[in-house]
Amino acid sequence: MPELPEVEVVAAALRAAVIGRRVVEVVVRERRLRRAVPRDLPQTLRGRCVTGVSRHGKLLRMILDEGAVVLALHLGMSGTLRLRRAAEPLERHDHVAFALDDDHALVFHDPRRFGLIRPAPVGDPLRQNRGLDPVQDGFTAEALATLTRKRRRSIKSTLMDQSLVAGLGNIYVNEILATAGIRPGRASGRLSRREHEAIVTATRTVLWAAIERGGSSISDFRHADGKSGGFQTQFLVYDRAGEPCRRCRGVIRRRVLGGRSTFYCPRCQR
């Protein structure tokens, strides 16, 4: 589920609620995430103070004691981070709970267990998520042209490659290409300068609109306070196969590209 806008919404909530709090205890109920949660995680974090929260692409980092420890968190497909009162009992799929010194707990919940929680070496991003963050300054038409030069790979799979551009997933890439008027299967290296610019502009527009609406909640994404996002009602194409295009008289099509469902309007995307 969570792509850049959803992760940004979670990061903002954590910045507001967790910075300045001390980790009192860490309860690990299920270690088997995408990679095993280290056995010594509680001991590594206990007593440390949260001094910052950052996000790059879909990866969250909780900075403890000014960087003495950095905890990397990834929500995978079905992960959420919720703030709960310490007294509330844990539920099924609540895998890790960080008890804080204000009688609340930050709870990592992830039915599919594709998420990740592990201490990260300071300043060293995980191997994936190294790409340009598309809401930061470096994501420009020139940068996109450089990344795609002479590549035949489709623009959709290029934009979803986290080592090139970090944070876009299947929903937002579909929406961005619809907004930019470009077909997902186009070879990225053959796009014009103007088209690269359209993609960069559309990316900013779509991501900021989604962040403002609190992200998209398709089935299980929730904010740290349990609320749903609202951007799913604004989709131009995602999961709208057979439905009318919102901007022309076309009908949205679905095809599979790189193993993922791909939606586009054949009339206004070229």
Partner DNA sequence: CGCACCCCCTGCCGGC
Partner DNA sequence: TGCCGGCAGGGGGTGC
Catalytic positions, please? 2-3, 58, 260
| CB of 94 closer than 8 Å to CB of 140 | no
Least distance (Å) between residue 233 CB and DNA? 13
- Nearest to DNA of 75, 100 (CB atom): 75
- Nearest to DNA of 168, 202 (CB atom): 168
Strand spans (E) along the chain: 23-28, 50-56, 59-64, 69-74, 80-85, 94-100, 104-109, 116-120, 253-257, 260-264
Task: Establish if 269 lies at the interface with DNA (CB under 7 A).
Answer: no
Q: Which of 46, 253, 261, 268 binds DNA (CB under 7 A)?
A: 261
Q: Which of 128, 201, 205, 234 binds DNA (CB under 7 A)?
A: 128
User: Could you give the 3-state DSSP secondary structure of residue 69?
Assistant: strand
How many Cβ atoms are within 10 Å of 132's Cβ, its own excluded?
19
By CB under 7 A, which span of 72-80, 83-91, 176-184, 205-213 interacts with DNA? 72-80
Pairing of strands 50-56, 59-64: antiparallel
Least distance (Å) between residue 66 CB and DNA? 27
- Nearest to DNA of 10, 17 (CB atom): 10
C-alpha 107/C-alpha 96 separation (Å) is 6
Buried b (16+ CB within 10 A) or exposed e, 81-114: bbbbeeeeeeeebbbbbbbbeeebbbbbbbeebe
Sign of the alpha-carbon torsion through 248, 250, 254, 258 = negative
Task: Establish if 123 lies at the interface with DNA (CB under 7 A).
Answer: no
Q: Which of 55, 58, 196, 240 binds DNA (CB under 7 A)?
A: 58
- Nearest to DNA of 99, 202 (CB atom): 202
Task: Establish if 219 lies at the interface with DNA (CB under 7 A).
Answer: yes
Task: Establish if 257 lies at the interface with DNA (CB under 7 A).
Answer: yes
Task: Establish if 114 lies at the interface with DNA (CB under 7 A).
Answer: yes
Task: Establish if 179 lies at the interface with DNA (CB under 7 A).
Answer: no
Least distance (Å) between residue 75 CB and DNA? 7
- Nearest to DNA of 50, 94 (CB atom): 94
How many Cβ atoms are within 10 Å of 150's Cβ, its own excluded?
8
Task: Establish if 1 lies at the interface with DNA (CB under 7 A).
Answer: yes
In this structure, which long-range contacts are made by residues 103-107, counting pairs with CB atoms below 8 Å and at least 24 apart in sequence?
104/17, 104/21, 106/14, 106/18, 106/81, 106/82, 106/224, 107/81, 107/82, 107/83
Binding to DNA (CB under 7 A) within 152-171 occurs at 152-154, 157, 160, 162, 168-171
Task: Establish if 203 lies at the interface with DNA (CB under 7 A).
Answer: no
Task: Establish if 258 lies at the interface with DNA (CB under 7 A).
Answer: yes
Angle at 73 between CA 72 and CA 79, to 5 degrees: 170
How many Cβ atoms are within 10 Å of 156's Cβ, its own excluded?
25
Residues that bind DNA (CB under 7 A): 1-3, 6, 32, 34, 57-58, 74, 76-78, 92-93, 111-114, 126-129, 151-154, 157, 160, 162, 168-171, 216-221, 257-261
